[in-house]
Amino acid sequence: MFKKNDWIFGLISVAVGVFVLFNIETLRDIKNSMDPTGPAALPSIIAWSMVGIGLLHLFASLYLARKEGEKYEASDDTKKSKSIKPVVNITLASVIFIFLLPIVGYPIAMPLLIAAIMISVGVREKKKILLVSTLTSMILFVSFSFGLKVDLPLGFFESLF
Partner 1 sequence: MFDNFLMGISVVFQFKGIIAIGIGVLWGTVGGMIPGINATIAMALLLPFTWGLDPAVAVMMLSGVYCGGEYGGSIPAVLIGTPGTNAAAATVFDGYELHKQGKTGVGLYASLLASVFGGMFGAIVLVFIAIPLASVALAFGPAEYFVLALVGLTLICSLGEGNVFKGIWAGLLGILLSTIGLDPFSGTPRLTMGFLSLTDGLEMIPLMMGLFAVSEVFKEAIDITGEKEKFINVKLDMSFPSWPLIKSWIPCGIFGSSLGVIIGAMPGAGATVASFLAYTGVKKWSKNPESFGKGNPLGVIAPESANNAVTGGAMVPLLALGIPGSNSTAIMLGALMIHNITPGPMLFVNNPEIPYGIFSALFVANIFMLFVGLICIRFAVKVANLSKPVLLSVIMALVFTGSYAYSGEVFDVGLALFCGLIGLAMRKGNLPHTATVLGFVLGFIMEANLRRALIISRGSYWGVLFNSNISTVLFSIALLSVLWALLRPIMHTSVKNRKHEAAV
Instruction: List interacting residues with partner 1 (CB under 8 A).
Output: 1-3, 6, 8-9, 13, 16, 20, 23-24, 27, 30, 34-43, 46-47, 49-50, 53, 56-57, 83-87, 90-91, 94-95, 97-98, 101-102, 106, 110, 113-114, 117-118, 120-123, 128, 132-133, 136-137, 140, 143-144, 148-152
Asked if 27 and 38 touch (Cβ cutoff 8 Å), the reply is yes
Give least dist CB 71 to partner 1, A: 21
Asked if 54 and 9 touch (Cβ cutoff 8 Å), the reply is yes
Give least dist CB 112 to partner 1, A: 11
Give least dist CB 149 to partner 1, A: 7
Give least dist CB 64 to partner 1, A: 13
| Rounded Cα gap, residues 29 and 41, in angstroms | 11
Which residues lie closer than 8 Å to 77 by C-beta, 6 or more apart? none
Of the pair 18, 118, the CB lying nearest partner 1 is at 118
| Rounded Cα gap, residues 72 and 53, in angstroms | 23
Reported residue count of the chain is 161
Of the pair 148, 160, the CB lying nearest partner 1 is at 148
Of the pair 121, 160, the CB lying nearest partner 1 is at 121
Cβ-count burial 21-39 (b if 16+ within 10 Å, e if not): beebeeeeeeeeeeeeeee
Give least dist CB 117 to partner 1, A: 4
